[in-house]
Structure 1
């Protein structure tokens, strides 16, 4: 038997054994920890394996369906921490229990990033009567540099902001790095004894999103850019709805020493008619999500191709269109009092022609709101050309 054939037979036997274990225990369809669907073992035969047609799918299924996978991941993290490692599962374990996603320069195509900026220029040209603003939320490692482990390396966000400033035409770049940096250090003021209060958390420790207060900082900066007076944070009636949020970055390492995050939401919002992909909702929030793993989905219940928010009895007739990723979900509630209508489109799920949509739904303002690496790596922005 040839060496290649022998290896293929061994692999096929191993696959059958792994598939047997998975079948006996039942394959898991979805991972709450990782907030994603898991690869299932496919139906295979010797010919397909020997031809190399199913190896990658089988490998992914084996990794996803491995018995006790979460427990082994947690054990691996404990061992790696014990020997001093700070880079685990694609996550840096930082100071004060902060986790940082390890995204390097080589993980981001500068060509794709530049092209996406040009797509935004196209969007601005399709809405000549609207003010178009681009808010690229900086990665937490850029704002919380002091929390990173020694020698941690991340992609060069500062260079990417420079590229955006040089490339965008007809759209205004709103750089909120200074506001976020200042907010985490100074917004809580000082105590009577002159000592500064504990710093304000603008990013979650265990998740890649910004906190509710981080989203407020973005809202406040946007209001200033469009010459609207921002309401105070306290005026929104901020309420704590959960103290046990373990986010997407925790799920990569499953570190037993993780400190859970707190989920807050603004409750004092104007009444509105809300439609998500054609389905009417009673509220901005889906409170069933606060008892699930992905608690950030409490905002609107998750992401949709199209969301339409019509405020009841508005005090103006302004309309806002937001082209977005999930970072917008927690900022939009703050904006509701300032507009008669807010529309959001998420190009990952939006199936219509953007050009036709803009013609049928003209807006006074357009906001492109993404986390920076999400924007750079998005492969759906070409829809802005259609």
Structure 2
């Protein structure tokens, strides 16, 4: 009797296994493949081509494994359940993120030391700045404080990362004597307590919020006003602005997105700081060659009444090129901003002080070299707005492709 029950159980397991395989195969066959994961911000593997060549060289099975994992039925539900299980077991890192008791999210620290990649980046920067100055252009560098180098969230038993060490190394090689600069992160650290610093960042995203960004803008404006002959005073005092917060909106933080939105976002400060004279609305804006209004480029999730919203929809999405003509500045002054996403909340604020501003992201212009792009332009001022965790890579590709 016992042997019969054991045999029946084995057959039942075999039947269930093949039923599962058949169900998954049927699902993959009849359902449309998902092309992009909104959570992971990446393209998902698609059904590989079945050919004799791909099967014989082993590529088909490798590609099919990736396809199976990416298109598995209920994949997001399974992953989210796994994340919630990890949270219940009090793991220090969940998908390489630390989540504090108050729902602050920070990635696992980097412990790598300064490398030749930083040397190459800063050498390129120094050479580029020298060339620009020889051509009569003003060059400025603003180091913007990334969350990982500014906020102290990790528990004491976790070793501190090397982000500040790498930034200090970068600046030790950087020609600050000939390039006026502001280290916003250093000034933040000197001026504010840890709790005050937290007021200036999103809990569940890797960026600063409007409070941190606006203070960063003011420090960049001070750098320009003290040094640039092209800078025009416009809306420099905080009293010239109106703070608008959107408490009815739900925020999707980039770190939380990686954790499948398992972290509570209550308390995120979703705000704009806009000039009371509505100057931004008078800008003539060209977005990748197409004319746009201010509200078609900035705060699109807010002005379209979308909910929930993310950092790009709250401020501005990354893009290759934006030009801004400012009718309020009469004397011609042409600014080129080279930036990363930390500049997105404040690029339009800086544009107040120049008649023409071009916002250019090297990462989204991999088909052209910056110096070639600038050859037929007539910029007066070049301003770098780079966060202090981005000290190497393609953003420092100015005249030739970066070497590996």
- Fold agreement, TM-score > 0.5: yes
Contact 1:316 1:340 in 2 (8 A): yes
Of the three residues 244, 265, 272, the one matched with 1:265 is 272
Residue 248 of structure 1: aligned partner: 254
Q: Please give the alpha-carbon distance, in whole angstroms, between the structure 1 residues aligned to 2:118 and 2:66.
A: 29
Q: Are 2:159 and 1:159 aligned? A: no
1:289 to 301, 312, 324: 301
On the 8 A contact 2:180/2:223 being kept in 1, the answer is no
Instruction: Give the paired residue count.
Output: 360
Which residue in 2 is equivalent to 1:338? 353
**1:177, 1:135 → 2: CA distance?**
10
CA distance in 2, matches of 1:102, 1:111: 23
Which residue of the other structure, out of 115, 119, 123, is the alignment partner of 2:124? 119
Counterparts in 2 of 1:207 and 1:311: CA distance versus 1, 3 Å = same
Q: Deviations over 1:3-45 (max 9, x none)?
A: xxxxxxxxxxx99985643343432122222333322222234
Measured in 2, the distance between the counterparts of 1:16 and 1:329 equals 48
Equivalences for 1:37-76 in 2 at 5 Å?
Answer: 37-45=43-51, 48-49=54-55, 51-54=57-60, 56-76=62-82
Q: Does 1:371 align with 2:382?
A: no
1-structure distance, mates of 2:140, 2:61: 45
- Partner Cα distance (1:21, 1:372) in 2: 46
TM-score (norm 2): 0.78
Segment drifting more, 23-32 vs 114-123: 23-32
Deviation at 1:131, TM superposition (A): 2.9
Aligned to 1:219: 217
Relative to the length of structure 1, the TM-score reads 0.81
- 8 A Cα contact 1:143 1:181, kept in partner: yes
| Aligned CA distance change for structure 1 residues 26 and 217 (closer, same or farther; 3 Å) | same
Change in 2 beyond 3 A, CA 1:243/1:153 = farther
Q: Distance in 1 between matches of 2:129 and 2:205?
A: 32
Spell out, residue by residue over 1:291-321, the C-alpha distance to the aligned partner (whole angstroms, 9 max, x if none).
Answer: 2666222367522211111101315433321
Task: Work out whether 1:137 is the aligned partner of 2:153.
Answer: no
Distance 1:15 1:235 in 2: 64
Paired residue secondary structure (1:127): helix
* Partners of 1:183 and 1:217 within 8 A in 2: no
Q: Secondary structure at the match of 1:348?
A: helix
Structure exhibiting the larger radius of gyration computed from Cα positions: 2
Corresponding residue for 1:205? 203
1:316-331 residue pairs with structure 2 within 5 A?
Answer: 316-331=331-346
For structure 2, list consecutive stretches of 5 or more residues without a partner in the other structure: 1-19, 227-232
In the TM superposition, what is the alpha-carbon distance from 1:83 to its structure 2 partner? 1.6
In the alignment, the residues of structure 1 paired with residue 180 and residue 125 of structure 2 have an alpha-carbon distance, to the nearest angstrom, of 10
2:313 equivalent among 291, 298, 302: 298
For structure 1, the 5+ residue unaligned runs are 1-13, 187-196
**2:369 is aligned with 1:357:** no
